[in-house]
Amino acid sequence: MKVIVYYYSSTGNTKLAVNYLKNHIRNAEIKLCNIATEEVESPDEYDIVGFSSFTEYLGPPTLMKRFIGSLNPVSSKPAFVLNTYAGFNGSTQIEFAKQVEARGYKVILGYSLKTPMNYPPMKRKGKHAENAPSLIDIEEFNLFINKIDDTIIRIKNTEDLKSIFGAFSLKKFIPSMSRSKVKKDFGIQQISKEQCVKCGNCVKVCAYQAIKMIPYPQVDHSKCNGCWACYNQCPKQAIHTKSFKGDNQYKGPSQELINKLS
């Protein structure tokens, strides 16, 4: 039984979550594939396909939506969705599942794991969620992983897939925010030449290939998705927006979070 999990993580929380999943599944080998940085392998050879990312303005991020939309249609291949979020999950899980199902997959399970906040405007408001996930959240996450394990066994035993497919319901959902609102919230970023050391990290972390070094970073605003990854991960706080001058960055999981999800 082969399982592949396609994931996208802007600052590392989702990456930790999928690694945790990989390390705790007992009944199958899990292949992880980072859709932002790795060559993407076809899902054809896999029996179950996982999709994992984070909540971005109440829904799945643009990069993940584009990726799902680019997949070849399949016929009822079992899938699961997993997302991290930091306060209000909105429609992420359901929207995610609907998109996956639109490509012909059958979503059998979904889980949303609460993790620390990486969105600077919410951090500024004091909504850090820094202690997430709680022990109860981790217990629930373990239950989700156990259910995937059970499903793997049931599929191995060639149980009628229809009974497995009944488990996940696509409930009513609140639509996520429009891209134009997202971009407007982020605004136009400026690079402070006094602070920038031309390290190129912003280019590396931009999953939308919107930044080029010439010789300072220059942003192609038609490609920028307003995801805050460059802002969060600039080591010199050199990326500024109209109201944010490098404060409230989220540079990645703390040691405490790494310990919890290992």
Contact in structure between 85 and 55 (CB atoms under 8 Å)? yes
Q: Which stretch binds ligand SF4 (CB under 6 A): 155-163, 171-179, 191-199, 247-255?
A: 191-199
Query: Within 10 Å of residue 108's Cβ, how many Cβ atoms?
Result: 22
> Read out DSSP for 73-94?
P-SSEEEEEEEEESS--TTHHH
Other Cβ atoms less than 10 A from the Cβ of 81: the count is 30
Which window, 43-51, 127-135, 160-168, 229-237, contacts ligand SF4 (CB under 6 A)? 229-237
Residue ranges of E strands in 115-258:
190-191, 211-213, 217-219, 239-240
Among 88, 142, 165, 190, binds ligand FMN (CB under 6 A): 88
Contact with ligand SF4 (CB under 6 A) among 118, 225, 241, 248: 225
Residue from the set 28, 48, 224, 257 that interacts with ligand SF4 by CB under 6 A:
224
Mapping DSSP to helix (H, G, I), strand (E, B) and coil, where does residue 213 land? Answer: strand
Residue 27 binds which entry of ligand SF4, ligand FMN, none, CB below 5-8 Å type-dependent:
none
For residue 234, the partner it binds in ligand FMN, ligand SF4, none, with Cβ less than 5 to 8 A by kind, is ligand SF4
CB burial of 162-190 (b: ≥16 within 10 Å; e: otherwise) equals eebeeebeeeebeebeeeeebeeebeebe
> For ligand FMN, which is the closer residue by CB, 4 or 205?
205
What is the footprint of ligand SF4 within residues 236-255 (CB under 6 A)?
Answer: 236, 238-239
Tell which one of 62, 91, 99, 118 touches ligand FMN (CB under 6 A): 118
- CA distances from residue 72 to 39, 45, 68, 69 in whole angstroms, order as listed: 16, 13, 9, 8
Q: Please state the closest distance from residue 43 (CB atom) to ligand FMN, in A.
A: 21
**With binding defined as CB under 6 A, does residue 64 bind ligand SF4?**
no
> E strand or H helix at 107, and its extent?
strand 105-114
Minimum Å distance from CB 89 to ligand FMN?
Answer: 6
The dihedrals phi and psi of 227, each to the nearest 5 degrees, come to -90, -10
Which of ligand SF4, ligand FMN, none does residue 217 bind (CB under 5 to 8 Å by kind)?
A: ligand SF4
Cβ distance to ligand SF4 smaller for residue 87 or 246:
246
Whether residue 67 contacts residue 8, with contact meaning beta carbons closer than 8 Å, is answered with yes
The distance of closest approach from Cβ of residue 88 to ligand SF4 in the complex, given in angstroms and rounded to an integer, is: 21
Q: How far is the CB of 210 from ligand SF4 (least distance, A)?
A: 4
DSSP code for 12: S
Which of 55, 189, 248, 249 is in the footprint of ligand FMN by CB under 6 A? 55
What residue type is assigned to position 77 of the chain? K
Q: Which residues bind ligand SF4 (CB under 6 A)?
A: 191, 196-202, 205-206, 208, 210-211, 217, 219, 224-230, 234-236, 238-239
